[in-house]
Amino acid sequence: MSHPEASAPQPRDLPPGQYVPRGWPVLHYGPVPKFRPKDWDFRVFGATASGEQHRWSWEEFDALPRTRAVTDFHCVTKFTIPGNEWEGVPGTAIVELAPPAPDVTHVMVWAEYGYSANIRMSDFLADGTMFATHHDGERLTADHGFPIRIVVPHLYAWKSVKWVRGVEYLVKDRRGFWEERGYHNVADPWSEQRYSYQEEDGEAPPL
């Protein structure tokens, strides 16, 4: 049976269980925050190499060198948006500007209202992972994360946190917002890692 919201024909290289919708659905927890550039900042803290916190104002962050990548976007609710052109500051650049301590293994990405998602450092440094400011040549809209969202295109999109405000370097993994509420700690769409009951030994900290 075809999905009632799906477009036809469907691409052949979708992860298992995914479909391409008409348009780009908007899903998030809580209200859309109001952006106040004078009060906004981006912080990197936790287990930094220097032991100190790094901070950028909006003007400083928006002036950082950006890169582009074209990637698919896979939501755990089973839709995939193919061929997105993202522009933003890559995770590798953040690590260069704010070096982590040698024993850092994960990051916690923090957003407005205390929302969070944990990501392995290998995923944070992967090609295509970035703090996106633009989508398909335009500034992000408020519904899709303006002024910045992290994009981790090879994982389910709850890891691609909207309205990001900071990154915490972790020397030991711990679960983020949805991971504490029953979602998979790793979130690989090609393996359909949707829920925590699917986790294997070594994939996650205790619930």
- Domain boundaries defined on the chain: 39-175
The CA distances from residue 32 to 76, 119, 148, in Å, are 20, 23, 13
Retrieve residue 156's tokens.
């389910």
Q: Are 68 and 87 in contact (CB under 8 A)?
A: yes
Retrieve residue 135's tokens.
């989508």
Retrieve residue 187's tokens.
């979130």
- What pLDDT, on the 0 to 100 scale, is given for residue 9? 43
The dihedral built from the CA positions of residue 105, 158, 196 and 6, taken in this order, carries a sign that is: negative
Which CATH entry fits the domain spanning 39-175: 3.40.50.300, 1.10.10.60, 3.20.20.70, 3.90.420.10? 3.90.420.10
CA pair distance 133, 135, nearest whole angstrom: 7
Task: Give the long-range contacts of residues 120-125, CB within 8 A, separation 24 or more.
Answer: 120/173, 120/186, 123/152, 123/154, 123/155, 123/159, 124/91, 124/95, 124/152, 125/91, 125/92, 125/95
Retrieve residue 3's tokens.
């999905």
- What pLDDT, on the 0 to 100 scale, is given for residue 12? 58
- What pLDDT, on the 0 to 100 scale, is given for residue 171? 98
Give the global pTM.
0.90
- What pLDDT, on the 0 to 100 scale, is given for residue 104? 98
Q: Are 109 and 115 in contact (CB under 8 A)?
A: no
Q: Are 154 and 126 in contact (CB under 8 A)?
A: yes
Please, what are the averages of pLDDT over each run of 10 residues along the chain (207 residues)? 42 85 77 92 98 98 96 94 96 98 98 95 97 97 95 96 97 96 95 90 74
Pairing of β 41-46 and β 164-170: parallel
Write the burial class of residue 64 (CB in 10 Å: 0-12 exposed, 13-18 middle, 19+ buried): middle
- What pLDDT, on the 0 to 100 scale, is given for residue 11? 52
Retrieve residue 41's tokens.
């900042």
- What pLDDT, on the 0 to 100 scale, is given for residue 18? 94
